Structure 1
Amino acid sequence: MIDTVIFDIGKVLMDYSWDQYLHGIVPDEIPYRTLEEAVFLNPCWEEHDKGLMTEEEELWDFISNAPDYEPEIRAVYENLGQCTWSFSYANAWIGELKARGLKVYALSNWQKRIFEQNEETMMGFLGQMDGYHLSYRTHKNKPDPEAFTGLFEAYGIIPEQTVFIDDNAANIEAARKLGLHAIRFVSYEQAKEELNTFL
């Protein structure tokens, strides 16, 4: 019997896009592409999710990729949280599941700076949950199995009684290997319908 649901956050409960934000700082195409590569497409982004660097270290990680654009990169970093926002259905979806008596958790790769700049919004759904692990606090990123098992151990979650929802294929595969039922998120309607087949 399924009694627990675990949600990813990015592209599941919250959307994100840097296009409009970045164009507001560097409207011209050439610096836009340079800053996009230096910050948002930078491979070090995933390391930043682990929360093992100071903000200044994170900032210099980005600047080192395009030192001629240091002022612009500092401006981008200043308000990174503006690149993400909650989906309109997020709070209600979590509320519906809680009303059905399910335990609900979140497990997400998430940077400290972005969380702190969106905390009030995110608590609309996180505040209804039974708990959550964000990578900047646990220092473990999905699909590392330890990211999952840390959540299991903290809250007494039984994988076989749990559905995991994430948009990332590698995370879905990792979850299934650990015994979780898993749904690859494509849209709210699709994921909600698939989840209902488990409940």
Structure 2
Amino acid sequence: MQEIKNIIFDFGGVLVDLDKQRCIEAFDKIGAHKIVKYVDECRQEDLFHDLEVGNTGIGDFCREVRHLSSGCKASDEEICNAWNSLLTGIPEQRLEKLASLKGRYRMVLLSNTNPIHWQKAQDGMFWHNGMDVDDYFEGTFLSYRMHMLKPDPQIFVKTLMTSDMMAYETLFIDDSPINCAAASELGMMSLNLKGDEWLDRV
């Protein structure tokens, strides 16, 4: 087996825990009832897709939420808070594991995410023992900045090239089997794991 020199981590489901039901209840509470179906079915289309590939901004996203849910008068802040309720935090043991891996591997983060969730993540989710997100990872590659989504092969190619990493020396960890299959097609090793499942595997 080829020696692993690099690790590419997914964010949602691998590092940060997700609570879909809490998010559904939050949107329902602010009257954005039409959005509940998007969250419940994990639909990555329309306004959610546009936000994740950087084709729309936070203001336009919030306006579309109100437009789709006729009668919803929620403020932009309330809508962002509802969407952020999906993220429940990064458990301490995962941050400690990242810190222990830092000297052994080159590490980057690659995520299908949006500016609302990423701002929430930057507001303290990675902070632990004096370390923050940039202390764990050499780079953060985010779909809304790259205008691409996994499993598009080009998002992996761009991440590898920008990081000066060779695919055959790189391990990719993601909770989506489709994303892992795409990474494997490019010559990376992959682990389709979520939550604490990866802690004892690397």
Q: Is residue 179 from structure 1 mapped to residue 187 from structure 2 by the alignment?
A: yes
Which residues of 2 match residues 113-132 of structure 1 at below 5 A?
113-124=116-127, 126-127=133-134, 128-132=136-140
Provide the C-alpha distance between the structure 2 equivalents of 1:126 and 1:20, rounded to a whole number of angstroms. 25
Which residues of 2 match residues 16-165 of structure 1 at below 5 A?
16-24=18-26, 26=28, 34-37=34-37, 41-42=42-43, 43-44=45-46, 45-68=48-71, 70-72=72-74, 74=76, 76-79=78-81, 80-84=83-87, 85-99=89-103, 101-124=104-127, 126-127=133-134, 128-165=136-173
Unaligned residue ranges in structure 2 (runs of 5+): none
Amino acid at match of 1:168: S
Amino acid at match of 1:94: L
Provide the C-alpha distance between the structure 2 equivalents of 1:66 and 1:89, rounded to a whole number of angstroms. 39
Q: Secondary structure at the match of 1:89?
A: helix
When the two structures are superposed, what TM-score results if normalisation uses the length of structure 2? 0.81
State how many pairs are aligned: 190
Structure 1 vs Structure 2: percent identity of aligned residues?
20
Does structure 2 retain, via aligned residues, the 8 Å contact 1:107–1:132?
yes
Compared with structure 1, are the counterparts of its residues 60 and 155 closer, same or farther at alpha carbon in structure 2 (3 Å cutoff)?
same
Q: Secondary structure at the match of 1:165?
A: strand
Provide the C-alpha distance between the structure 1 equivalents of 2:146 and 2:29, rounded to a whole number of angstroms. 37
Does structure 2 retain, via aligned residues, the 8 Å contact 1:159–1:178?
yes
Task: Report deviation, 1:57.
Answer: 2.0
Q: Secondary structure at the match of 2:161?
A: helix
Select the structure that is richer in helix: 1
Unaligned residue ranges in structure 1 (runs of 5+): none
Compared with structure 1, are the counterparts of its residues 35 and 47 closer, same or farther at alpha carbon in structure 2 (3 Å cutoff)?
closer
